[in-house]
Amino acid sequence: MKTVKPKESEAAQTVDVTDLILNDIQTGVLAPGSWLKQIDLERRYGCGRPDVRRALDRLTQKRIVEHVPNRGYHVFEPDGDRARQVSEIRILLETGVADRIIDNATAGAIAELRRLADQFDAVILDGTTIDLYEANLAFHHALLSLCGNDELVSLVTEIRQRTSSAPVSQWITRARIQQSSLEHYEMVDAINMKDVEKLKSVIVRHIRQ
C-alpha cells in the first residue's frame, strides 16, 4: 500500500479520513470482506492512530464495515436483501416528494438538472468509474434538493452510501449505464411537463434498475 496523498501530509487536514476510506471502499479499492488493519490505514492516509480509530468507528456506525472485537474491522460483504430494502426506502422517499420537486422546480433549476444529466452522459464515454459515480450522485442530489426537506436529502445521501459499496457489480454493463442516463433525461422532462405520475414511475424504474 502506498500513501494516497503524500503532498498533503503536512497540510491542514480539511477532508476527513472517514470520507477517504469510504471513497476507497465504494470505488472498490478496498474490497468487500477485506480486513482494514489500523497500521495500513494509518500509513496509507498519512494520519494518526486516533484518526483511524474514529474513522473505523464511524464507518461501523454507518454499517459499512463490521467490527469484530479483538479481531479488527472488515468491509461488509454486499448483501442483496439489504440492497433491495434500501432501494425500497429510496423509492418511498423519492416518489413521496415527487410532487414537491415539481412544485419547487424553477426554470433555472431544471436547466441545472439538465446540465448535470449532460455531465453524467459525457463521462460515460471518457471517465472513470469514480467520475460516473460522482456525476450520478450530483444529479440525484440536485434533484432531491428541490423537495425542500434538507433532512430527507441528507438521509437519502446517507443510506445510498450503505449499499453501493460494490458499484462494479451494479453497473456492469454499459447498456445499463446508458439506460440510467436516458432515465435522467426522462426525469427532467417529466419535471418540465409537471407530470407527477410520470416522474414517479421513472424514479421507481431508475432505482429498481
Residue 24 neighbours by CB under 8 Å, 6+ apart? 4, 30
Find the binding residues for a copy of itself in span 11-70 (CB under 8 A).
Answer: 54, 57-58, 61
Options 20, 22, 36, 144; binder of DNA; rule CB under 7 A: 36
Count of residues that interact with a copy of itself, criterion CB under 8 A: 19
Q: Is 130 near a copy of itself (CB under 8 A)?
A: no
46, 90, 108, 120, 178 from 113: Cα distances, Å: 37, 19, 9, 11, 17
Shortest reach from residue 37's CB to a copy of itself, in Å: 20
Residue bearing cell 503524500: 6
- C-alpha 91/C-alpha 69 separation (Å) is 36
Options 5, 31, 33, 48; binder of DNA; rule CB under 7 A: 48
Among the listed ranges 69-77, 95-103, 125-133, 151-159, the one in contact with DNA (CB under 7 A) is 69-77
Residue bearing cell 446517507: 158
- What's the distance, Cα to Cα, between the start and end of the chain in Å? 35
Q: Any idea of the CA torsion for 122, 125, 131, 133, to the nearest 10 degrees? A: 90
Find the binding residues for a copy of itself in span 157-176 (CB under 8 A).
Answer: 159
Q: Is 149 near a copy of itself (CB under 8 A)?
A: yes
- C-alpha 198/C-alpha 209 separation (Å) is 16
Q: Which is nearer to a copy of itself, 92 or 193 (CB)?
A: 92
Q: Is 96 near a copy of itself (CB under 8 A)?
A: yes
Q: Is 39 near DNA (CB under 7 A)?
A: yes
Q: Is 148 near DNA (CB under 7 A)?
A: no
Residue 6 neighbours by CB under 8 Å, 6+ apart? 46
Residue among 78, 67, 1 at smallest CA distance from 35? 67
Shortest reach from residue 42's CB to DNA, in Å: 9
Q: Is 58 near DNA (CB under 7 A)?
A: no
Residue bearing cell 471502499: 25
Q: Is 114 near a copy of itself (CB under 8 A)?
A: no
* Interface contacts to a copy of itself, rule CB under 8 A: 54, 57-58, 61, 82, 85-86, 88-89, 92-93, 96-97, 149-152, 155, 159
* Interface contacts to DNA, rule CB under 7 A: 35-39, 48-51, 67, 69-73
